[in-house]
A = this chain, B = another copy of it.
Amino acid sequence: YKIAVLPGDGIGPEVMAEAIKVLQVVADKFQFQLTLTEALVGGAALDATGVPLPPDTLALCKASDAILFGSVGGPKWTGLAPDMQPERGSLLPLRKTFDLFCNMRPGQIYPAFADLSPLHPRVSSKGMDVLCIRELTGGIYFGEKGRSGDTAFDTQRYSVAEVTRIAEVAFQAAQKRGKKVTSIDKANVLQTSILWRETVEQVAKNYPDVTLEHMYIDNAAMQLIRSPQQFDVMLCDNLFGDILSDEIAAIAGSLGLLPSASLNGSGFGLYEPAGGSAPDIAGQGIANPIAQILSAALMLRYSFGEEAAAQAIERAVQQCLEQHIVTRDIDPKSTYGTAAVGAAIVATLQ
């Protein structure tokens, strides 16, 4: 398997180093071959080449079977035009080029770490285990937009085909989980939401074992805080998914543990931690590598079909969590750093 490794900025390179060690161990153990090739992205690429996604990097991604992405951005590169911004200028073209229409972001309140959640114990003790499925290549992100004189506009556009393919992913995911899909829209205001809702109902007919529920985005933003345990799979368009997946991450309270996958229809994917480049703690060896390592596990599962290896990584992470081998973001009293947590996961795997 050929992997384009794009560490990026801030803590990206540090946590990526641990993910690579983990990948090499499972490749040995489960007997598959990995070719890992690094390239520049984000601020690092801006500094070296003047653009956040250089042609060489894009070419490498095209020649690979998956992208393992770190994180990008930092105070050094603020105030640039949108297309030049480290995050936006790299992620949006990658999503569009590879038709990565499906973003999956799990968010859990781990019982043993419920106290990480900023929610009240009476709420967080009931747990949360949400999978946010976000449409990633359509909607208002990519519709016609412009400025003329004193007015600007953006267009949100969705087709039945676009909604169908993301809805199918959501229902299939729900079948393997809690068997419930909550589809998010604003069908009392938006025409795209009415189409969204109708299409999701059509798709639901093929999944009679899954319960479908519709919820307005404003109510969903509220319900996630009041009783997050009511959700299983949340199905969102691009903009609503952007907002709710970050709200879910905040509720989980453990950004450093949350991976994400962005997939197309042929198994190609971009895998990245849900958190950012955290420039404030970069270079200190204290960043949490787990979200990056779990992102690598998702890559093994979704792009390479190496389910056993993916599960082995997830189990090893789980064991380290149980033994409280964690960085300071998870337990302020902990003395483990990035490399120590990575090494513990590697040791558990061996």
Task: Mark A116-160 against chain B: 1 for CB-CB distance below 8 A, else 0.
Answer: 011111111000000000000000110101110011111111111
* Neighbour of A195 across the interface among B147, B156, B219, CB < 8 A: B147
Complex CA–CA separation, A37 to B170 (angstroms): 50
Question: Within residues 48 to 94 of chain A, which ones have a CB less than 8 A from any CB in chain B?
Answer: 82, 85, 87-88, 92
User: Any chain B CB within 8 A of the CB of A34?
Assistant: no
Complex CA–CA separation, A249 to B222 (angstroms): 7
Q: Are B189 and A218 in contact, with the CB atoms below 8 A?
A: no
Q: Are B151 and A82 in contact, with the CB atoms below 8 A?
A: no
A144 to chain B, nearest CB (A): 9
User: Any chain B CB within 8 A of the CB of A188?
Assistant: yes
* Neighbour of A152 across the interface among B87, B115, B191, B239, CB < 8 A: B191
Which secondary structure dominates chain A's binding surface? helix
Q: Are A159 and B151 in contact, with the CB atoms below 8 A?
A: yes
Q: Which residues of chain B are within 8 angstroms of A85 by Cβ–Cβ distance?
A: 188
User: Any chain B CB within 8 A of the CB of A247?
Assistant: yes
Q: Of all chain B residues, which has the CB nearest A222?
A: B250
Q: Are B194 and A219 in contact, with the CB atoms below 8 A?
A: no
Q: Are A246 and B226 in contact, with the CB atoms below 8 A?
A: no
Q: Which residues of chain B are within 8 angstroms of A157 by Cβ–Cβ distance?
A: 151-153
Q: Which residues of chain B are within 8 angstroms of A145 by Cβ–Cβ distance?
A: 190-192
Q: Of all chain B residues, which has the CB nearest A124?
A: B120
Count of chain A residues near B, Cβ 8 A: 60
Q: Are A218 and B191 in contact, with the CB atoms below 8 A?
A: no
Q: Which residues of chain B are within 8 angstroms of A217 by Cβ–Cβ distance?
A: 242-243
Q: Which residues of chain B are within 8 angstroms of A313 by Cβ–Cβ distance?
A: none
Q: Which residues of chain B are within 8 angstroms of A245 by Cβ–Cβ distance?
A: 218
Complex CA–CA separation, A336 to B285 (angstroms): 57
Q: Are B190 and A154 in contact, with the CB atoms below 8 A?
A: yes
Q: Which residues of chain B are within 8 angstroms of A158 by Cβ–Cβ distance?
A: 151-153
Complex CA–CA separation, A208 to B78 (angstroms): 23
Q: Which residues of chain B are within 8 angstroms of A218 by Cβ–Cβ distance?
A: 242-243, 245-246
* Neighbour of A82 across the interface among B153, B188, B246, B251, CB < 8 A: B188
Q: Which residues of chain B are within 8 angstroms of A223 by Cβ–Cβ distance?
A: 250
Q: Which residues of chain B are within 8 angstroms of A153 by Cβ–Cβ distance?
A: 143, 155-158, 191-192
12 A-B contacts, Cβ less than 8 Å apart? A85-B188, A92-B189, A119-B119, A120-B121, A140-B156, A141-B189, A145-B191, A147-B195, A151-B158, A152-B195, A154-B190, A243-B243
Other than A88-B188, A221-B221, give 5 A-B pairs with Cβ distance below 8 A.
A118-B119, A118-B120, A152-B157, A221-B246, A224-B250
